[in-house]
Each structure stands twice: as C-alpha cells, then as structure tokens.
Homo-oligomer: A and B are copies of this chain.
Amino acid sequence: MNTVEKLTEIFKMFPGIGERQAKRFVYFLMSRNQGSLEELSNLLLQLKKETRQCNECFRFFSLKNETASTLCNICKDPNIDSSTLLIIERDSDLESIQKSGIYNGKYFVLGGLVPIVEKNTTKAIRLNDLKNKTKNENLKEIILAFSLSPQGDHTDFYLRNELKNITEEKNIKISSLGRGLSTGTELEYSDNDTIKHALQNRQ
C-alpha cells in the first residue's frame, strides 16, 4: 500500500467515515500546502503529550500548565458532590450532560456498552474499576445514564446485577435516567413503552 492508500485506510477507522469520504479527506490533504500538513502532523504528536486519561473517571482531558496532573478538572474540583457517581458510555455523553449544567456530581466513563450476546464483557467495559470505586469511595447514589437502545438497557440491567452486593451492603442507591416524552416527541407516534413511562412519571 502506498501513502494514499494507507491514509485512506486510517480515515476509514474514524467514527462515521466510509470509503468515499476517507478518500475525499486524502484528496483534501493533498491539496493543502506542506505547512498545513506539518501543522496537523505536529498536533497529532502533541495530542498524547498534552492530553491524559483521568485516573478517576477515565475521560480524556487537556493538560493545561500543571503537567503533573493525573486528574481532570471535574475530578479534582472540591465543589463537586463526590457522593454521586454518574456512569456514561463515553466521553461525548459526559460532555452532553456537563453541558446541560444540571449535574454536579462525579462521572465514570464505562468505555463501552455490554454486548447483549456477552463474551469478554470485562474487556468491553471497565467493570473492575467501577467495582473498586463503588467499594472504596463514599457513594450515596450511582446513576446509570445510557442511551435507550437494547444494548443500553442491557448494560443498565447488567451493572445493576454486578453491583448489587456492594451497593446493598453499603446502602448505595442505584438509579437510571428517567424515561418519558423527550423534546419533540409526538404523542400519536410514541411507542407503548414511552407512553407507559410518561404516565408513570407524570408530575
């Protein structure tokens, strides 16, 4: 494979990118001047040096000046409510919740969802890290916050089961995101499940 082909293969691994768009990326890059390519090339080398995965919540974060930090700005914020832990699948979910401005507790990036046909679940998600955290920290509530897909539901069910012993012993509440109508939902086109939850959670 030549450089063009190798780059196409790499861009095809980018999230949401297929063969055709991967090729367009390479054409785009070929048309850029050498300086632009060098800048991008350097930034890629910088990325790992200037970012780190948080030791506590496992999200990726940019190091600012304090290059020695092993904790992200949320995890080391003393004003965060450290008794609540919200579990999300990935970094972008964390960002969505952070942006809503309503949650003030800790996060834990699970790193994936549990496959419905499980094999090697422990490789797909950070189960041991989560269990240790649940055991060793002073939690009052764990919030499971996954997308409402079959796999998200399965992960919710799976974690509740895996954490059961610890949370019962330590009296930690486990909750899941509330269900009901979401913005834009039309009643007429809602499925039974959504209507059921919307009725149960009426207020």
Interface of A with B (CB < 8 Å)? 2-4, 6-7, 10, 14-16, 21, 23-31, 34, 37-48, 50-51, 53, 60, 62, 64, 88-93, 95-97, 99-103, 143, 145-149, 175-203
Q: Which residues of B contact A47 (CB under 8 A)?
A: 3-4, 7, 26, 29-30, 37
Pairs A–B under 8 Å by Cβ, sample size 23: A3-B43, A4-B50, A7-B44, A10-B39, A27-B92, A34-B48, A40-B44, A89-B187, A92-B188, A96-B189, A97-B187, A102-B196, A147-B187, A148-B184, A148-B185, A149-B184, A177-B198, A177-B201, A178-B181, A180-B197, A181-B182, A182-B185, A183-B194
Copies in the complex: 4
Judge whether A198 and B178 touch: CB under 8 Å: yes
Judge whether A100 and B187 touch: CB under 8 Å: no
New A-B pairs, 16, CB < 8 Å, besides A41-B41, A179-B182 = A3-B50, A4-B50, A7-B44, A10-B43, A15-B24, A23-B92, A30-B91, A38-B45, A41-B42, A41-B44, A148-B181, A148-B185, A178-B179, A178-B181, A180-B197, A180-B201
